Chains A and B, each alone.
Chain A
Amino acid sequence: MSKDPQDYTVLVVDDEEIIKKALVFDFKRRGFSVLAAVNGTDALALVRRNKVDLVLSDIRMPGGDGIALLENVRSEHPSVPMVILLSGFSDVDEAQCLARGARRVFKKPFDRKLLMQYVCESLGIEG
């Protein structure tokens, strides 16, 4: 029996409003429970208060960057996979994100279908 996306909560973290909105739209349409934040600090608070199954985060954000979030999520909730959306003009590159425990890195502009597919696979949901 395939798993139901409704049982999973995805946290979307991006300060770029249109990206955040697009991702929330996609995951909601697919049936996931979705939480959203615009910076790492708010995102960490959401992770601590809620049962989050996957975190999808940008790196460069004012008020708490994605790297700090990645490190905190890795240490506090090692089982929660983190997917990084990388703009490519940051101090950190893909290798560094992976070294710090990111499950996968997507470079912006990303293919939303591939991203959705990857998230579903990671959570064991049929695409």
Chain B
Amino acid sequence: MPHGHCYFWRPEILWLSVVSDAIIAAAYYAIPVVLFLFARKKKDLPFIWMFFLFSGFILLCGTTHIFEIVTVWTPMYRVLVLTKAATAAISILTAVLLIPLIPKALSLRSPAELEAKNKELEREIRERKRMEILVREQQLQITQSAKMSALGEMAGGVAHEINNPLAGIKAVVSQMQELLAEPTVDVAMLREMAGDVEHTTDRIAKIVHGMRSFSRDSSADAHTQVTVADLIGETLDLCGERYRKHGIQLEVSRFDHRLSFTGNGTQVSQILLNLLNNAHDAVAELPEKWVKVEVRDTPEAIEFSVTDCGKGIPAPLRDKIFQPFFSTKEVGKGTGIGLSISLGLAQNHGGTLYLDPKSEHTHFVLRLPRRTGNAEVG
């Protein structure tokens, strides 16, 4: 029997019921659509499965109202009650699952709390950035002092290299004065002497230039095109005398003198000088003394290597030598920061500095990639 009978088919009751059911059903169908759209927009929504349960529950509620309308004219009560049973099942499930969710939902941060937390994090980030700048400034200072210390090790040799030609210039100038005082001035001889003095002062100027460009703070310099031959020449000018003094044979392998790379020449020179200083100290007391500098050119990188005739570095120390303040030199002789700073400078060029463990001698390799345009200037 259609449900309309219960309303005695009185239109005012029947239609009020039908229209009410239709509006309720429409509203119930609309709500899950809105929920779905909301959930889709808000990707990180917590407990999203609960939204699906709600949607299912409301959809079924709406469906029961549709069948309420149908049963006014058609007695499909079985379908109606089955829909109601399904609604009951899903509603009880939703209710049961909702209970344990409440404490979790309560623990979700409110926008105000999140705002406060964000501000705190921003403060922490600012503080950390400030510390990073401070650490970086200190690193630059340490790099500079390591460079000055490396230069200090060279100072005696450099002073000798300036003093020796200076003694020659002094003698020749005094001879020139005597020649000028003679009745017949030997112009040819004077010209030759003046040439010798000029040539020798050029050499002194070159040494001073090398020291000046090495000692100045180059950390802010932009990367430029550096000619490998010039770089090696200037570096050897600084330490060559120290090698000669101790009778250490310093050999430079043949390489293409047009070879160049993009980088900070002073920093690369600092790395090489540090390696050469270490090699010098390692072999100075050995009966056989030699150090070899090699340049290898590959399509990807330029490799500089410094090999000394020592027996290499024992395996347990290989990692430690690149750590700051680790030194195998006597107390007071090594600062222990040379290699760690050199490694940092190599990394500034996007390169590496490592000890070749396969070599029977102590063999350090500085590898600089061909393209360092993006590397940080440090």
Q: Once the chains bind, are B171 and A23 in contact (CB under 8 Å)?
A: yes
Decide yes or no: A108 and B175 within 8 Å by CB, A19-B168, A21-B196, A89-B157 being known contacts. no
Q: Once the chains bind, are A108 and B196 in contact (CB under 8 Å)?
A: no
Q: Once the chains bind, are B175 and A22 in contact (CB under 8 Å)?
A: yes
Chain B residues with CB below 8 A from A19, complex form? 164-165, 167-168, 171
Q: Once the chains bind, are A16 and B156 in contact (CB under 8 Å)?
A: no
0 or 1 for each of B154-167: is its CB under 8 Å from A? (1 = yes): 00110110011111
Least CB distance, A111 to chain B, in whole angstroms: 8
A33 at the interface (CB under 8 A from B): no
Q: Once the chains bind, are B167 and A89 in contact (CB under 8 Å)?
A: no
Chain A residues with CB below 8 A from B169, complex form? 18
Least CB distance, B127 to chain A, in whole angstroms: 50
Which residue, of B163, B167, B196, has the highest number of chain A Cβ atoms within 10 A?
B167
0 or 1 for each of B185-213: is its CB under 8 Å from A? (1 = yes): 00000000000110110000000000000
Within 8 A of A (CB), among B244-292: 244-245, 247
A26 at the interface (CB under 8 A from B): yes
Closest A residue to B199 by beta carbon equals A18
Q: Once the chains bind, are B168 and A89 in contact (CB under 8 Å)?
A: no
A62 at the interface (CB under 8 A from B): yes
CA gap between A104 and B24 in the complex, in Å: 122
Contact count band on B: 20 to 34
| Total chain A interface residues with beta-carbon distance under 8 A | 25
Chain A residues with CB below 8 A from B197, complex form? 18
Chain B residues with CB below 8 A from A90, complex form? 160, 245
Which listed residue, B156, B167, B199, B200, touches A108 by the CB 8 Å rule?
A: B167
CA gap between A6 and B200 in the complex, in Å: 31
Which listed residue, A16, A26, A62, A65, touches B168 by the CB 8 Å rule?
A: A16
Which listed residue, A61, A65, A109, touches B171 by the CB 8 Å rule?
A: A109
B104 at the interface (CB under 8 A from A): no
Q: Once the chains bind, are A87 and B164 in contact (CB under 8 Å)?
A: yes
Least CB distance, A91 to chain B, in whole angstroms: 7
B22 at the interface (CB under 8 A from A): no
Decide yes or no: A62 and B244 within 8 Å by CB, A87-B164, A109-B166, A110-B167 being known contacts. yes
Within 8 A of A (CB), among B67-106: none
A88 at the interface (CB under 8 A from B): yes
Chain B residues with CB below 8 A from A91, complex form? 245
Closest A residue to B241 by beta carbon equals A60
Q: Once the chains bind, are B165 and A87 in contact (CB under 8 Å)?
A: no
Within 8 A of B (CB), among A49-72: 58, 60-62, 65
Which 10 residue pairs of A and B lie closest in terms of their CB atoms, listed nearest first?
A18-B168, A108-B167, A109-B167, A89-B160, A22-B171, A19-B168, A109-B170, A89-B156, A16-B164, A62-B244
Q: Which residues of B contact A (CB under 8 A)?
A: 156-157, 159-160, 163-172, 174-175, 196-197, 199-200, 244-245, 247
